[in-house]
A and B are shown apart, each in its own frame.
Chain A
Amino acid sequence: MGNDDRIRALEALDPGQGRPGYWERLRGQILERAAFELARRREAARQSVTAVLSGWSRSLIPVAAAAAVVAAIMIATEAGQDRSPAPGLVFEDVLGGGLDESAFQAALQSDANANAAAFLAFVEGTP
């Protein structure tokens, strides 16, 4: 008995022999029986996707809120640092300020200008 003969003989055990569509019918029966379990699995998969998304949102919202608070604090801190007092009029500014020469001369000759503040008051023309 050769290989071909043996395979031909064993084909007699194939229930599809003489029964067209046997395997397709069997597959259909299996799928019919599996319908409930497949539906259950689809539902479980759908719920797990929703659970993942809601899990994300549960952790994302507090993190986002915390980040917003931190950002607000940082902005407020930086704004506070920018609000340092404006420097007053210094002597160098006065020198570069385009005052006329006669005012300088008068100021330098005046005895009243013993200190910088008095000098500035004099130059700016304030009493």
Chain B
Amino acid sequence: MRQRSDAELVAQARCGDRESFGELVRRYQRPAYSVALSVTGKHQDAEDAVQEAFMVALQRLDDCRNPDRFAGWLLAIVRNRSRNLIRRENLRSGDEIPASASTRLPGPDRMADISALRGRLKEALNTLPELQREIVLLHDLEGWKHDEISERIGIPSGTVRSHLHFARKALRARLAEWKDHA
């Protein structure tokens, strides 16, 4: 079956079609999470930001002037919601939400490894500028191509490559330090 374009899904979702909106969520929840994580640095905040962003996107779907570029439009909302969330978090007294709220874990050792690695990666990622974090997560975690990132976040492809290069270099240096200490 032919994959429906974003524009078709947006048109249907505007009329309240649950299945079409669900497909948009399926398509973009992972990149949205990556962007949110690149801003918030916390799993729970990123998840909240993704949920909020999809709600805002649905409510403002009529404002999406170019439905073919739904992804870029959505990711801009995700970025804004994530920043708002951080601002709200900063206003609250620092009651830290645990990074993992899962109930089904694979086992203590594996989880400890994942958790440690996750912590280190977050630390390393947090040393990068926000845009570089976003690009490295979209490219290396979500598998988006340079051109896709360029189109969807609205910067030239060459700039994406350059940011990716510097982000990887910085990450490599940080993680090498960690490996040496371990």
Contact = CB atoms under 8 A, between A and B. Distances in A.
Interface stretch (A11-19, A54-62, A90-98, A108-116): A11-19
Interface string A33-61: 11101111111110000000000000000
Given A9-B121, A10-B140, A27-B26, A42 B16 contact: yes
A65 interface: no
A1 B18 contact: no
Chain A interface size, under 10 / 10 to 19 / 20 to 34 / 35 or more? 20 to 34
A37 B58 contact: yes
A38 B58 contact: yes
- Interface residue SS majority, chain B: helix
Given A1-B172, A29-B51, A12 B121 contact: yes
Interface stretch (B29-37, B83-91, B148-156): B29-37
B173 to A, nearest CB: 10
Contacts of A30: 25, 29, 50-51, 54-55
B122 A13 contact: yes
Chain B interface size, under 10 / 10 to 19 / 20 to 34 / 35 or more? 35 or more
Contacts of A6: 140, 168, 171-172
Interface of B: 13-18, 21-22, 25-26, 29-30, 33, 37, 43, 47, 50-51, 54-55, 58-59, 102, 104-106, 110-111, 114, 117-118, 121-122, 125, 136-137, 140-141, 168, 171-172, 175-176
